[in-house]
């Protein structure tokens, strides 16, 4: 396999498990225009070690963009530039946890966050979820037995379940974090990718003034993962702690060169236009996947259609172990992510995550055809 991409997909395979934007949606022309604009400014600052919290001009442009998306007043002083959510999570763990500390997660949760928590030797405790995300009563019960260092949540169009946490639960989370003295890390990467049904509740970024919430965002899902650019929104004192870390002290602010290019993309309105396109394309892809699943696997899979994000989370109606079906699926040229990967306690075995972002409608229909044949083999 070539050594260019993180997850190369063999040409014969339709990998419905991959969680990347489609290659046809990576905006080369947009970035060429933004880069030309940025480089024509005659400004060498983006080539120098940058301000630890991130270039103020980029943070101002980002704040204006987020105000448009989040419909919340956004203070550039409450934004910290990151290399994306993964790096932000890693830095937060470095500065806010010790090995052995407890981190609460949703069950299911974003499986690669579990890898980052493992790197920091954290003890992961999965909390129950329902169709609206984290069950707050279960959190209250868990808090009777001890306080975590962090609670990690993906509140909107969750990866993998697609669930969106209602406004009241978001507020309760922040209140409980304040009362018990832990930090809520809200991974809001899919918030701007809403394309069906109702608008989601305000992002948890609106709760950062409590000091109990850090909201993480990223350009990975709305522009391109290869940019490795994102942000942390939090109260100024929280961000100061991050900016004063050894990492930032030595290397300066993260990714100032890419931030300068993305600043141009924001200022020229290119990001807004691209996001509008993504919402149209992903809505059509979700439609295609949903229709194909209903037609070919309606009696075998149970799922709730998400209002955005990248994923459909499907349970096998007969309760079979999805991971055990993988050899058959691969033999039919299709793959998925087994539910167990998203569990903090080796559960969720009857589930699979299917992504509708990577393939176009035809690819998705073919993928479901293959999956139906594989599951039909008993
Ligand atoms: C919930 C969630 N968080 C974080 C990431 C990774 O984000 P980034 O590329 O900004 O590190 C992903 C990518 O799949 C994701 O689904």
Q: What is the pLDDT of residue 7?
A: 86
Tell me the DSSP string of 294-309. Answer: HHHHTTTEEE---SBS
Model-level pTM greater than 0.85? Answer: yes
Among 20, 106, 110, the mutation site with the greatest number of ligand 1 atoms within 8 A of its Cβ is 110
Give dist(CA 206, CA 234) in Å, integer: 9
Ligand 1 binding site (Cβ under 6 Å of any ligand atom): 19, 84-86, 110, 154, 159, 187, 189, 218, 220, 225, 230
Atom of ligand 1 nearest to the CA of 110: 1
CA angle 252, 100, 245 (to 5 degrees): 10
Pick the residue whose CA is nearest to atom 7 on ligand 1: 85
Q: Are strands 183-187 and 213-218 parallel, antiparallel or unpaired?
A: parallel
**Ligand 1 center to 87 CA (angstroms):** 10
Phi and psi at residue 166, in whole multiples of 5°? Answer: -65, 160
Pick the residue whose CA is nearest to atom 4 on ligand 1: 85
Give dist(CA 207, CA 213) in Å, integer: 6
Among 190, 218, 225, 308, the mutation site with the greatest number of ligand 1 atoms within 8 A of its Cβ is 218
Q: What is the pLDDT of residue 378?
A: 54
**Ligand 1 center to 373 CA (angstroms):** 31
Give 14-27+272-376's CATH code, choosing from 3.90.1150.10, 3.40.190.10, 3.40.50.970, 3.40.50.300.
Answer: 3.90.1150.10
Q: What is the pLDDT of residue 197?
A: 76
- Parse the chain into domains and list their residue ranges: 14-27+272-376, 28-270
Atom of ligand 1 nearest to the CA of 84: 10
Give dist(CA 229, CA 123) in Å, integer: 28
Give dist(CA 148, CA 97) in Å, integer: 10
Q: What is the pLDDT of residue 1?
A: 57
Q: What long-range pairs does 44-49 form, CB within 8 A, spacing at least 24?
A: 45/256, 45/260, 46/256, 46/257, 46/259, 46/260, 47/256, 47/257, 48/252, 48/256, 49/251, 49/252, 49/253, 49/256
Pick the residue whose CA is nearest to atom 16 on ligand 1: 159
Q: Please provide the CATH number assigned to the domain covering 28-270.
A: 3.40.640.10
Question: What does each of the 378 residues of the chain score in pLDDT, given as a tens digit?
Answer: 568 899 899 999 999 999 999 999 999 999 999 999 999 999 999 999 999 999 999 999 999 999 999 999 999 999 999 999 999 999 999 999 999 999 999 999 999 999 999 999 999 999 999 999 999 999 999 999 999 999 999 999 999 999 999 999 999 999 999 999 999 999 999 999 999 878 999 999 999 999 999 999 999 999 999 999 999 999 999 999 999 999 999 999 999 999 999 999 999 999 999 999 999 999 999 999 999 999 999 999 999 999 999 999 999 999 999 999 999 999 999 999 999 999 999 999 999 999 999 999 999 999 999 999 999 975
């Amino acid at each position: 396999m070539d050594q260019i991409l993180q997850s190369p997909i063999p040409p014969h395979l339709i990998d419905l498990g991959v969680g990347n934007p489609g290659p046809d949606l990576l905006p080369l022309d947009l970035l060429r225009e933004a880069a030309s604009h940025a480089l024509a400014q005659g400004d060498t600052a983006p080539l120098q070690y940058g301000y630890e919290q991130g270039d103020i001009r980029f943070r101002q442009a980002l704040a204006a963009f987020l105000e448009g998306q989040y419909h919340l007043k956004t203070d550039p002083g409450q934004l910290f530039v990151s290399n994306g959510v993964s790096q932000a999570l890693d830095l937060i763990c470095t500065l806010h946890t010790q090995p052995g500390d407890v981190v609460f997660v949703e069950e299911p949760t974003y499986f690669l966050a579990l890898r980052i928590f493992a790197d920091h030797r954290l003890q992961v405790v999965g909390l129950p979820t329902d169709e609206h995300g984290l069950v707050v009563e279960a959190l209250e019960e868990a808090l009777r037995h001890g306080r975590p260092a962090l609670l990690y949540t993906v509140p909107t169009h969750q990866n993998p379940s697609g669930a969106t946490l209602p406004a009241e639960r978001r507020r309760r989370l922040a209140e409980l974090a304040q009362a018990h003295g832990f930090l809520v890390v809200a991974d809001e990467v899919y918030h701007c990718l809403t394309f069906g049904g109702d608008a989601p509740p305000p992002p948890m970024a609106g709760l950062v003034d409590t000091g109990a919430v850090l909201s993480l965002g990223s350009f990975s899902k709305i522009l391109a993962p290869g940019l490795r650019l994102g942000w942390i929104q939090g109260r100024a004192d929280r961000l100061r702690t991050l900016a004063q870390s050894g990492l930032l002290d030595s290397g300066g602010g993260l990714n100032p060169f890419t931030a300068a290019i993305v600043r141009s993309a924001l200022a020229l309105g290119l990001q807004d236009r691209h996001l509008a396109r993504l919402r149209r394309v992903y809505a059509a892809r979700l439609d295609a996947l949903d229709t194909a699943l209903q037609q070919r696997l309606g009696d075998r899979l149970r799922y709730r259609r998400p209002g955005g994000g990248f994923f459909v989370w499907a349970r096998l109606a007969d309760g079979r172990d999805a991971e055990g079906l993988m050899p058959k699926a691969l033999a039919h040229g299709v793959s998925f992510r087994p539910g167990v990967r998203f569990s903090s306690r080796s559960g969720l075995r009857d589930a699979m995550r299917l992504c509708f972002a990577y393939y176009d409608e035809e690819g998705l229909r073919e993928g479901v055809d293959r999956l139906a044949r594989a599951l039909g083999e008993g």
